[in-house]
Amino acid sequence: MKQVAAFLDLIKFEHTIFALPFAYLGMALAANGLPTFAQFFWITIAMVAARTFGMSMNRLADRHIDARNPRTANRPIQAGRISVRTVVIGLVVSLLMLTLAAWQLHPLTLALLPGALLFLAGYAYTKRFTWLSHFVLGFTDGLAPMGAWAAIRGSLFTPQDLPAWLLLCAVTVWIGGFDLIYACQDTAFDRTERLHSIPARFGNAVALRLAKVCHAFTVVLLGAVGAWMGLGAPYWLALIVTAGLLVYEHSLVKPNDLSKVNVAFFNVNGYISVTVFAGALAGLYIRG
C-alpha cells in the first residue's frame, strides 16, 4: 500500500481535476448534453489512464534531472519511497487501460491512440531541445477534450467538429500559460542544466507577460466555443468568472516573487476547469 500511495503522490493523481473537466466538456458538447453511461465511464478511464501514463513517463525521463534540482529532489523516486520498477509497472498498466478504453469507445479513438501516445511519452524530452515545451504540454492536454469529442461523434474533420479544435487550442494556451508561470521557479536551474524553457531563455518577466497573453486567448477561444454551440447565459457567466480567476492567478505571481506559485498553479486552475464545465453543462441544459 505504501508503494501505491507513493505512486499516486509521484504522479500527483489529485491534479487530474485540471484536465478531466475539459475532457467532460468535449464529451458533453459532442453529445449535446449527457452521453451514455458507457461512454462516460470509458472516457473517464481513458483520461485518468492517459494522465497516469504521461506523468509516469515524465517522472521516469526526468528522474536524474529532478534529483539535482533542489525543488524536486524530495520527490518519491529521488527520496527512495518508490522504485523505478514500480513506476514502470504503473506505466504499463495505465497504457493497457488507455488502449482498452480507446478500443471500447470508438474505432476513431483507437486509430488516434498512437499519435496521442507520441505526445504523452515525448513531452518530457522536449525541454532538452526546445523552449516551446510549455506548448507541447498544453497541446498534449488539449487532446483530452478532442479525444472525448471523437469518442462521441466519431469524427473530427467536418465543419461541425470545429468546437473540438477550438477546445484543443483553448486548452493548449491555457495549460501552456500556467506552465510558463510554474517554470519560472526553475529558471536558474534550467540555465545551469542547459534545459530549454521560455523563462530560462527570455527571463521571468517575459514569461509572465506571455502567460497573460496565453490566458487572454484562452478566454477568447472558450468564448468562440460558447458562441458556436449557442450555450447562453450560464456559460457566459462561467466565462466571466473564469476571466476573473485568471486575473487573480496573475496577481499572485511577480517576476521577483514566486512565493504563491503553488496557489496559482494548483488551486486556481482547478477552479477554472470545473467552472467552465459547469457553465457549459448548464448552458446545454437550458438550451435543451
Spatial separation of the C-alpha atoms in residues 286 and 232, rounded to whole Å: 8
Residue 112 has pLDDT above 70, yes or no: yes
Q: How confident is the model at residue 16 (pLDDT cuts 50, 70, 90)?
A: low
Residue 4 has pLDDT above 90, yes or no: no
Angle at 129 between CA 125 and CA 135, to 5 degrees: 70
pLDDT of residue 13: 54
Q: What is the pTM of this model?
A: 0.94
3-state SS, residue 83? coil
**Fold category of 2-287 in CATH:** Tetracycline Repressor; domain 2 (1.10.357)
Mean pLDDT of 181-192: 94
Q: How many CB atoms lie within 10 A of CB 79?
A: 11
Average pLDDT over the chain reads 91
pLDDT of residue 179: 93
Short-list 135, 273, 111, CA closest to 207: 135
Spatial separation of the C-alpha atoms in residues 148 and 144, rounded to whole Å: 6
pLDDT of residue 2: 61
pLDDT of residue 157: 94
Please state the domain extents for the chain: 2-287
Spatial separation of the C-alpha atoms in residues 200 and 71, rounded to whole Å: 16
Mean pLDDT of 79-105: 93
Q: How confident is the model at residue 265 (pLDDT cuts 50, 70, 90)?
A: low
Q: How confident is the model at residue 100 (pLDDT cuts 50, 70, 90)?
A: very high
